Amino acid sequence: QQQVKQSPQSLIVQKGGISIINCAYENTAFDYFPWYQQFPGKGPALLIAIRPDVSEKKEGRFTISFNKSAKQFSLHIMDSQPGDSATYFCAASHFGNEKLTFGTGTRLTIIP
């Protein structure tokens, strides 16, 4: 019930392309879905987050798409750049509950 499944485990995208990372959850009580970005040697940092009252949220080149009926959400990185190379984690929680449930992470590499 608490699991968040993330795919793919690793992803290689050419510079300028679109990177897409997918997550699926089981607990219908989840109502907060953040994405974290982690560079080597650094802790995770909040990138973008969405609540289920909207189906899409865009911040710059980063977009979250949310499908409540399918219990899925995804991160799209448009015009991917080498500086986007990092590990991305999706997460989910019930707002107000400090227990963030994380996915296993996606290692994204953007090649020139």
Interface positions with another protein (CB under 8 A): 4, 9, 34, 41-46, 49, 89, 91, 93, 95-105
Helix (H) or strand (E) holding 75: strand 72-77
Q: In this structure, what are the phi and psi dihedrals at residue 18, rounded to the nearest 5 degrees?
A: -105, 125
Please identify, using beta-carbon distances, which residue of 19 and 93 lies nearer to another protein.
Answer: 93
Please choose, from the candidates 22, 10, 13, 23, the residue with its C-alpha nearest in 3D space to the C-alpha of residue 83: 13
Shortest Å distance, C-beta 53 to another protein = 17
CB of 102 to another protein, least distance (A): 4
User: Which CB atom, from 19 or from 44, has the smaller least distance to another protein?
Assistant: 44
